[in-house]
Every structure is written in C-alpha cells, then in structure tokens.
Amino acid sequence: MSKKKNEYSEVTPETSAQNQTELEKALTEENEKLIEENEALKAEKEKLQKTCKRLQSSADKSDSYLNQLVAMKNDFESYKRRMKFNGEQARAEGAQAVIVKLIAVCDNFELAKKHLVGDNLKAFEMVYQQFLQILSECGVEEMDVKGKPFDPLKMNALSKLDSGEENKDLVVEVYKKGYVMGDKVLRYAEVIVGA
C-alpha cells in the first residue's frame, strides 16, 4: 500500500507543468477545431438562409402564377359560357329571321288558296298543310285572336268597327294572322277591334 502511495506522490512540479501544458495544448487544439466547425456552421447557415430566401421567392412566384392561372381559367370558363349563350342566341335569331320570311310565304299560300278549286285545291292544300307542319315543328304557332279581347302586346289594331255592345274591345276580324315562337312574337296579328 505504501508503494502505491509513492507512485502517486512522485508527481513532481515538472511533471505537473508538463501535464498542464499538454492539457492546455489539447484544449487549444479542441478549441480551434470547435471554432473552425462554428465558422463552417455559420457559413452553412448563411447558405441555408439564402436558399430559404430563394425558395420563398420561388414559392411566392409560384403562388402568383397559380393565382393568375386560376383567374385565367375562370375568365376562360366565363368566355365559353358567353360564347355558348351568344351562339345559341344567334342561332335562335337566325331561325326567327328565316321563319318570319316563311310566314310571308304562308300569307301567299292563303291568298292562292282562295282562287283554286277542285283537284288543284286538294294538292295545294296538302302542300300548304305540310308547310304549316314544318313551321309547327320549328315551334311556330299561329295566334288564335278572333273573338278574344284586344291585346296590344300581340296585336296591331288597324281600325275600330261598330259591331254591337257584345263585341266591344274584342277582335271582330283578322286582317293578317299573328305568329309566336315560344314567348316571342314573330309577327303581330293585324286586327279590327269592335267598338
């Protein structure tokens, strides 16, 4: 036991100074390594911050582009709906314009019918009925106004005719038939109204 005491007790001031110098040297080296690592971490942190800023800038641009894309998509959808509506409206107006011209042909059929007799009248009547059927399939309806109250939204009064108190403000005679297509009046009926 005393021998072990001697081993420990043989620490001399030179040994102690040498140990302290080695310890300081080791600590200095460790400190320098830590300083280098700290500098490397600072540099890495700066790189990461720059990368984060670039990513945030890119994300902001992406959001901006996405918003623009969504707005353009909405505008395009609105444009498609408008064009569809305009196309349907143009088709309807075009069909109505043609039908109004065909209604004039219908008037001529009725005038010609008054001057035909016999077999010619039967053949003519078949063609005329086919013509009316085609107009009906297009949604055109003849207004039934005779004996009905005068309606300025569907009729034009050509004159008033004294035809008794029971016919007052009623249509007593139809000069030209009126036609409607759905809710739209294609041609106003021209009538004579009882006074």
List phi, psi (to 5°) of 12.
-105, 165
Whole-angstrom CA distances from 76 to 49, 68, 85, 87 are 40, 12, 14, 16
96 in Cβ contact with 181 (< 8 Å): yes
- Cα four-point dihedral sign 163, 164, 165, 167: negative
Q: Give the amino acid at 51.
A: T
- Residues 93, 30: Cα–Cα separation, whole Å: 92
**Rg, Å, the chain Cα set:** 51
pLDDT band at 10; cut points 50, 70, 90: low
Which residue is listed with tokens 């039967």?
122
Domain 141-195 fold is Nucleotide Exchange Factor Grpe; Chain A, domain 2 (2.30.22)
Is this prediction's pTM over 0.75? no
In this structure, what is the dihedral angle of CA atoms 151, 157, 161, 162, given to the nearest 10 degrees? Answer: 40
Closest by CA position to 191, among listed 137, 153, 138, 165: 153
The residue with greater pLDDT, 21 or 70, is: 70
Q: What is the pLDDT of residue 162?
A: 81
Closest by CA position to 191, among listed 179, 173, 170, 165: 173
pLDDT band at 5; cut points 50, 70, 90: very low
Q: What is the pLDDT of residue 167?
A: 78
Q: State how beta strands 184-187 and 179-181 pair.
A: antiparallel
Calculate mean pLDDT across residues 166-185.
87
Q: What is the DSSP letter of 117?
A: -
